[in-house]
């Protein structure tokens, strides 16, 4: 029993769902198969597919490795599509997570060196609020050293700009 909890890192989640139950219309719940989607699994789809945050960065925001993020994301997508295609109910609950809605993310503009802060659940800005430059970087301050992440790196799943993976690693300052 306890072994299941070993190596489970608590995921940081910055947005909780507005509704936690979805079911096909006019089918009694007792006749439905119910799929449990955990809060942190939902968070992976939210960050990657709704906000289009690239996976290295999304993993950082949740405080987990890229591989763990990827695994959670695959599980989450599988569950959602299974429910939609096969007419199952989805219950969103549970998981190992901490709510980090107060968590702030810092950005730096390469052009004018303006630095600013945003709540990490607001998505990434597309340009510098001061000079309008699109050459902006996220500054990670999670104790693993400062990381600069290229703004134009995209989630490999949507097929764009996936080749710049080597640039998305950490650059110690
Ligand atoms: Zn600027």
**Residue 158 Cα, ligand 1 centroid: separation in angstroms?**
28
Average pLDDT over residues 154-163: 38
Residue 144: predicted pLDDT: 34
125 has a pLDDT exceeding 70: yes
Compute, in angstroms, the gap from residue 134 CA to the centroid of ligand 1. 8
Angle separating helix axes 55-62 and 66-86, nearest 10 degrees: 100
- Give the Cβ contact number of residue 70 at 10 Å: 18
Residues contacting residue 153 through CB under 8 Å, at least 6 positions apart: 54, 56, 57, 161, 164, 165, 167, 168
Q: Are residues 30 and 76 in the same domain?
A: yes
Query: Is the pLDDT at 110 greater than 70, yes or no?
Result: yes
117 and 66 fall within a common domain = no
Band (pLDDT 50/70/90 cuts) for residue 67 is very high
- Alpha carbon 2 to chain centroid, angstroms: 27
- Whether 129 and 160 share a structural domain: yes
Q: What is the pLDDT confidence band of residue 161, given thresholds at 50, 70 and 90?
A: very low
In whole angstroms, what is the distance from residue 4 CA to residue 161 CA? 37
Structural domain contains residue 35: yes
CB-proximal residues (5 Å) to ion ligand 1: 109, 111-112, 114, 128, 130-131, 133
Tell whether the model's pLDDT for residue 57 goes beyond 50: yes
Total count of domains within the chain: 2
- Tokens encoding 111: 């052009």
Domain endpoint, select from 99, 126, 156 = 99
- Compute, in angstroms, the gap from residue 107 CA to the centroid of ligand 1: 10
% of the chain residues with pLDDT over 90: 42
What integer pLDDT is reported at residue 41 of this predicted model? 95
Q: Phi and psi at residue 33, in whole multiples of 5°?
A: -85, 135
> How far does the centroid of ligand 1 lie from the alpha carbon of residue 122, in Å?
19
pLDDT on residue 11: 86
- For ligand 1, the distance from its centroid to the CA atom of residue 112, given in whole angstroms, is 4
Cα 132 to ligand 1 centre (Å): 6
Residue with the two structure tokens 């993976």: 165
What residue numbers bound the domain in which 115 lies? 104-168
Looking at the fold, whether 19 and 49 belong to one and the same domain comes out as: yes
**15-31: pLDDT as tens digits:** 778 888 999 998 888 88
Q: What is the rounded CA–CA span in Å between residue 121 and residue 165? A: 24
Q: What is the pLDDT of residue 71?
A: 96
Report how far ligand 1's centroid is from the alpha carbon of 138 (Å). Answer: 13
Q: Tell me if 94 is assigned to some domain.
A: yes
**pLDDT above 60: residue 151:** no
Nearest partner of 153 among 171, 141, 172, judged by Cα: 171
- pTM for this one? 0.55
Centre of ligand 1 from the C-alpha of residue 65, in Å: 30
Is the Cβ–Cβ distance between 31 and 117 less than 8 Å?
A: no
CA of 147 to the centre of ligand 1 (A): 18
161 CA to centre of ligand 1 in angstroms: 24
Residue 113 CA to ligand 1 center (angstroms) comes to 6
40 with 88, same domain: the answer is yes
State the chain's mean pLDDT as an integer: 76
Asked whether residue 142 carries a pLDDT value surpassing 80, the answer given is no
């Amino acid at each position: 029993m306890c072994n299941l909890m070993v190596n489970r890192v608590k995921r940081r989640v910055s947005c909780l769902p507005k509704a936690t139950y979805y079911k096909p219309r006019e089918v009694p719940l007792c006749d439905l198969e119910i799929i449990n989607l955990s809060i942190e699994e939902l968070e992976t789809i939210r960050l990657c597919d709704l906000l289009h945050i690239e996976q290295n960065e999304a993993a950082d925001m949740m405080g987990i490795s890229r591989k763990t993020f990827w695994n959670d994301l695959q599980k989450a997508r599988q569950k959602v599509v299974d429910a939609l295609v096969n007419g199952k109910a989805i219950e969103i609950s549970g998981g190992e997570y901490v709510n980090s809605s107060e968590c702030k993310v810092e950005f730096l503009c390469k052009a004018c060196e303006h630095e600013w802060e945003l709540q990490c659940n607001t998505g990434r800005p597309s340009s510098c609020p001061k000079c309008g430059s699109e050459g902006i970087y996220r500054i990670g301050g999670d104790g693993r050293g400062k990381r600069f992440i290229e703004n134009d790196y995209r989630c490999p799943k949507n097929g764009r700009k996936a080749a710049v993976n080597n640039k998305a690693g950490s650059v110690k300052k």
